[in-house]
Amino acid sequence: MAKSGSGTQERQKTDGTAARPSGGRSVTMETVGRLAGVSQVTVSRALSDPSKVSPATLEKIRQAIETTGFVPNALAGALASRRSKLIAALVPSITNIVYSWMIKAFTEGISGHGYQILLSETGFDPAEEEKLIMTHLSRRPDAILLTGIHHTSEARRMLLAAGIPVVELWDTTESPIDLCVGFSHVEAGRAAADFAVGAGYRNFATVCAGDERATRRRDAFTREVARLCGKNTTAINFEEIARLSHGRDAMRRLIEDEGFRDGVIFCSSDILAHGIIIEANARGLKIPEDVAVIGFGDQEFAAYVEPAITTVRVDRTKLGHTAAAAILARCEGGPSPDRVTDLGFEIIRRKSA
């Protein structure tokens, strides 16, 4: 075991900077000040509010920082200003392009305002989201971005008690924790059903992944089909996230177990729709003549699959940018954003249906 003060163990300085290994000394604001010929207070002032320091002194300090490689202690600055300049973001999956694209757009919207994104993956488990909310709030972020509007009661309690801006993305509700930016999943399911019935289909199926928002779209589709033409809908459900393999398996089950033909399948994602198309093609079925397919999300590949996927498009870039603008308005004291922003969706008709 290394003894206290040995060269193999880093020491923590009182100003928050870590000493270098092997007995080396860390670079502090005092070091920068000595090199620049100014006091430590002047260096601190230059870093926190450059307008209070003359241009000539700022240049000396900048050169000293460049020479020494000094990195300001963000935590110390946060304690002094009560601002961490961190924005927490929680998404179900960082590999799902639907969510990663939204976060990319959100980051673009935040970029240039001095904030950093602290990102975590929650999966689709509300209990896991609750734990991560607690972890992120312990870092004292200036705001938090969540995916969806359904959270545990304890998560809601913590978020309300935190007193920071909260944006719930990818969904809408009349009673958000603070702000929500998204669209109605129920209306998206209804619109898909209206399209399917209006196109003349008389047999219906759904293939759905284990996402609460996806199940709301599925259920709305099923209810609307029953209302419009009195038909039941065959359902294939998965507990996990959407995968190509699930789409292929669903198509196999629909054909072999349910005898499904001459109808339309509404999928909770384009990934499932793609898997269905692959399996249908492998079995020599024609799309949309034998089986029609509707996806969701309008992912990049959807327009280039053969046949191209009819889908529900949501403007993910606009969602991310709108959420970023709402958080910045709250954090920077801009015009108060709307509590609920519904950006809607669009049915994109292609060859698959």
- Cα–Cα distance measured from residue 215 to residue 208, given in angstroms and rounded to the nearest whole number: 7
Domains of the chain: 29-80 (1.10.260.40), 84-183+317-344 (3.40.50.2300), 185-313 (3.40.50.2300)
Instruction: Give the residue-averaged pLDDT of 287-303.
Output: 96
List Cβ neighbours of 50 (8 Å cut-off, separation of 6 or more): 58
pLDDT in tens, 225-237: 999 999 999 999 9
Indicate if the pLDDT at residue 12 is higher than 80.
Answer: no
List Cβ neighbours of 151 (8 Å cut-off, separation of 6 or more): 126, 129, 130, 133, 159, 177
What pLDDT, on the 0 to 100 scale, is given for residue 250?
98
Is residue 320 within 8 A of residue 109, CB to CB? The reply is yes
**Residue among 266, 221, 273 nearest 246 (CA):** 273
Mean pLDDT of the chain, nearest integer: 89
Give Cα separations from 308 to 111, 261, 288 (angstroms): 35, 20, 11
pLDDT in tens, 15-48: 434 333 334 457 788 889 999 999 989 988 888 7
Indicate if the pLDDT at residue 6 is higher than 60.
Answer: no
Q: 3-state class of 233 per DSSP?
A: strand
Instruction: Give the residue-averaged pLDDT of 117-136.
Output: 93
Instruction: Give the residue-averaged pLDDT of 170-197.
Output: 97
What pLDDT, on the 0 to 100 scale, is given for residue 336?
86
Give the range among 33-42, 176-185, 187-196 with minimum mean pLDDT: 33-42
